[in-house]
Every structure is written in C-alpha cells, then in structure tokens.
C-alpha cells in the first residue's frame, strides 16, 4: 500500500525511439539496409539481363516461331524464378529484422527495469500507451534518453 507521503514516481519510455536511436538498433538497421542494397543490386543486374534477352528476342527476325516460343517460355521461367528469389529474400530480411528487433527489445526491457529500480520509479509505461491515460495526478518523466544511454553503456562494457 502506498502511503500518502510518497508521491508515485511514474516514468515513460518511447520504445521505438530507444530501438531506433540506440547504437545496437542503428547497427542492426544499417546491417539490414546494407544487405538489402547489396541484394537489390544483384537483382537489378539479373533483371537488366532478362530485359536484354527479351529485347533480343523481339528483334530477332531469324528465329522460327517454335524457337521464339521456346525462348519466350525460357525467359518467362527465368522471370518467375527471379520474382521468387526477390520474394524469398524479402521474407528472410523481415524475419532477420524481427529477430534482431526482438533481441534488442528484450535487452531494452532489462535496461528499463534496472534504470527504473535504481531511480526508484514505481511505474514505467510505454510512451504511446501512456497517451491513452486521460488523467494522471502525478507527472511522468520521460526516461527514454536515460534508457538509451544506459543500454549503450552496457553494450560498450560487453564489447570490451
């Protein structure tokens, strides 16, 4: 039971901001973007190659109708395979992003718990969830930057 002499200490944390602005979050985002750009370049080269084949196919009057049909079928198969590769890569990238994000969120929750206990907070809410509360007698304190700084310092300690 809370005594009347003790005001509740309520904090809020913007988890999305903490994820995006923490060093680990930025590192993960850069890693995923780099992989995405690299693969996109590979897919673009393959797509340009297929476009050249299609152009050559259209402009080759020496092909018999049967040969043209076979080449067209082969081109369509390669285009389908490329689309499937793109779809599969996008799915893999989403899965990797989900895994990295979940790991960071778990670490952030542990950092929130530690900072909150050390600073003697009674309650810590996710900032967006706190906006649902229409009235609160006590003021809230935004702990987001404190959490980011603490989380980054933990990662630096672990890397040393």
Cα–Cα distance between 47 and 23 in angstroms, integer?
35
Helix or strand (DSSP H, E) at 142: strand 140-142
Question: How does pLDDT run across 54-70, given as a tens digit for each residue?
Answer: 998 888 888 888 988 99
Cα–Cα distance between 19 and 32 in angstroms, integer?
14
Which has the closest alpha carbon to 36: 78, 92, 84? 92
Question: How does pLDDT run across 65-113, given as a tens digit for each residue?
Answer: 898 899 899 999 999 999 999 999 999 999 999 999 999 999 999 999 9
Laid out side by side, the sheet with 123-126 consists of 123-126, 10-13, 140-142
Domain boundaries, the chain: 10-159
Band (pLDDT 50/70/90 cuts) for residue 4 is low
């Amino acid at each position: 039971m809370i005594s009347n002499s003790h005001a509740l200490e309520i904090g809020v944390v913007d988890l999305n901001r903490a994820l995006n602005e923490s060093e680990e979050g930025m590192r993960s985002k850069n890693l995923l973007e780099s992989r995405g750009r690299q693969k996109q370049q590979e897919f673009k080269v393959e797509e340009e190659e297929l476009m050249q084949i299609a152009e050559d196919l259209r402009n080759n009057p020496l092909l018999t109708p049967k040969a043209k049909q076979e080449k067209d079928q082969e081109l369509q198969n390669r285009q389908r395979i490329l689309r499937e590769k793109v779809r599969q890569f996008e799915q893999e990238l989403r899965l990797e992003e989900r895994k990295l994000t979940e790991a960071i969120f778990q670490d952030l929750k542990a950092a929130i718990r530690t900072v909150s206990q050390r600073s003697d907070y009674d309650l810590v809410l996710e900032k967006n969830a706190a906006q649902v509360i229409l009235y609160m007698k006590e003021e809230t304190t935004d702990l987001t930057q404190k959490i980011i700084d603490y989380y980054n310092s933990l990662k630096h300690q672990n890397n040393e």
